[in-house]
């Protein structure tokens, strides 16, 4: 059985906050201590606190408001799927300065792979966006995103270089993108992707294919994300075995990036 000493630093923080909420120390919509206060209390870095808060937000236990802090979610939120967070939000949560550049925006015919992921017929018109994502001024990932025309029309008046697609759909149109399916594999960098990521052609990259949808099953987008593995890694946290309720559970609690190879980004120590 894992002891408290076996927990990583961010897990200790998230477990403590979770226990405080379960014990009703803080109630619905109560504001949590600030990142600085939590960092001082646990004697850990700010990036550790942000990883802990990101885990709790993924679980639906808390919600965050930029410039205001973190708050306890409604009593039923922990049992619901929360919306997926965008890459910009993930970088900000990790203390990395985000930067995006839109390289391509145009309608095209869906090939068999894209059509299957979006639930449309082959040859249907979809909208493609190519976007280069930087962290602390350095190339991190190259995204190729396809959307059904309905969602593309909703996004056409918005600046996608500084805000995530998910945030726009939820904040402006009250459309919560809360279901995601991920597929990871190692690939050799295609020539155009290699040029944008500033790596040699054929360099090994991590490819993440991601299909996302609303809770009612409407397909929102299909994305291919090519990642520089020297600057970003992904961590999956699972709840395994039996929960405190006694029911078996092997569900994902969090899946997100770690930016360990960027200049100016603190490294998370191994615990």
Stated length of the chain: 271
Whether 69 and 121 share a structural domain: no
- The answer to whether 229 and 254 are in contact (CB under 8 A) is no
CA distance 199 to 207: 15
Same domain assignment for residues 116 and 155:
yes
Is the model's pLDDT at 76 over the cut of 70?
no
Q: Which of 54, 80, 106 is the last residue of a domain?
A: 80
Q: Quote the crossing angle between the two packed helices 9-22 and 46-59, to the nearest 10°.
A: 50
Give yes or no: residues 151 and 250 share one domain: yes
* pLDDT given at position 242: 55
Say yes or no: 148 and 128 in one domain.
yes
CATH number for position 104: 3.40.1410.10
At which of 80, 98, 115 does a domain end?
80
The answer to whether residue 1 sits within a structural domain is no
* Contact assessment for residue 230 and residue 198, using Cβ atoms and an 8 Å cutoff: no
pLDDT at 252 over 80: no
Res 270: pLDDT:
31
Do 30 and 157 sit in the same domain of this protein?
no
The structure's pTM equals 0.67
4 lies in some domain: no
Q: How confident is the model at residue 207, as a pLDDT?
A: 97
Mean pLDDT of 195-214: 95
Query: Does 270 reside within a domain?
Result: no
Q: What is the pLDDT of residue 214?
A: 86
In the chain, what is the greatest distance between 2 CA atoms, to the nearest angstrom? 57
Domain closes at, from 40, 58, 80: 80
Pair 90, 213 in one domain: yes
Beta-strand (E) ranges in 41-164? Answer: 62-65, 69-72, 98-109, 125-135, 138-148
Please check whether residue 150 lies inside any domain of the structure: yes
pLDDT tier at 2, thresholds 50, 70, 90: very low
102 in the same domain as 33: no
CATH number at residue 29: 1.10.10.10
Claim to verify: residue 29 and residue 67 sit in the same structural domain: yes
* Inside any domain, residue 269: no
Nearest-angstrom CA–CA distance, 21 and 27? 7
Number of domains the chain contains: 2
Q: What is the pLDDT of residue 3?
A: 42
Q: Say yes or no: 176 and 217 in one domain.
A: yes
Domain that holds residue 169: 83-264
Does 96 lie in the same domain as 70?
no
pLDDT, residue 9, reads 86
Distances (CA, A) of 89 to 36, 148, 247, 267: 19, 23, 33, 19
Residue 236: inside a domain? yes
């Amino acid at each position: 059985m894992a002891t408290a000493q076996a927990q990583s630093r961010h897990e200790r923080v998230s477990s403590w906050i979770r226990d405080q909420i379960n014990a009703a120390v803080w109630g619905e919509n109560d504001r949590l201590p600030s990142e600085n206060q939590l960092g001082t209390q646990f004697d850990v870095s700010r990036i550790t606190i942000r990883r802990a808060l990101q885990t709790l937000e993924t679980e639906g236990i808390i919600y965050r408001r930029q410039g205001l802090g973190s708050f306890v979610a409604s009593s039923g939120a922990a049992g619901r799927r929360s919306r997926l967070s965008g890459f910009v939000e993930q970088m900000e949560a990790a203390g990395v300065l985000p930067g995006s550049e839109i390289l391509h925006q145009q309608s095209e015919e869906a090939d068999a792979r894209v059509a299957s992921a979006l639930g449309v017929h082959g040859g249907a018109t979809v909208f493609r966006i190519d976007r280069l994502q930087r962290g602390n001024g350095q190339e991190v990932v190259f995204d190729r995103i396809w959307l059904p025309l309905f969602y593309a029309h909703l996004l056409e008046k918005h600046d996608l270089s500084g805000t995530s697609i998910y945030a726009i759909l939820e904040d402006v149109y009250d459309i919560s993108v809360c279901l995601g399916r991920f597929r990871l594999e190692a690939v050799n960098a295609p020539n155009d992707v290699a040029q944008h990521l500033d790596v040699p052609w054929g360099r090994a990259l991590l490819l993440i294919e991601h299909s996302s949808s609303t809770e009612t099953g409407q397909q929102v987008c299909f994305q291919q994300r090519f990642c520089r593995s020297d600057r970003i890694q992904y961590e999956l946290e699972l709840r395994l075995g039996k929960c405190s309720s006694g029911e078996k559970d092997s569900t994902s609690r969090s899946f997100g990036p770690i930016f360990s190879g960027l200049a100016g980004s603190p490294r998370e120590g191994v615990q």
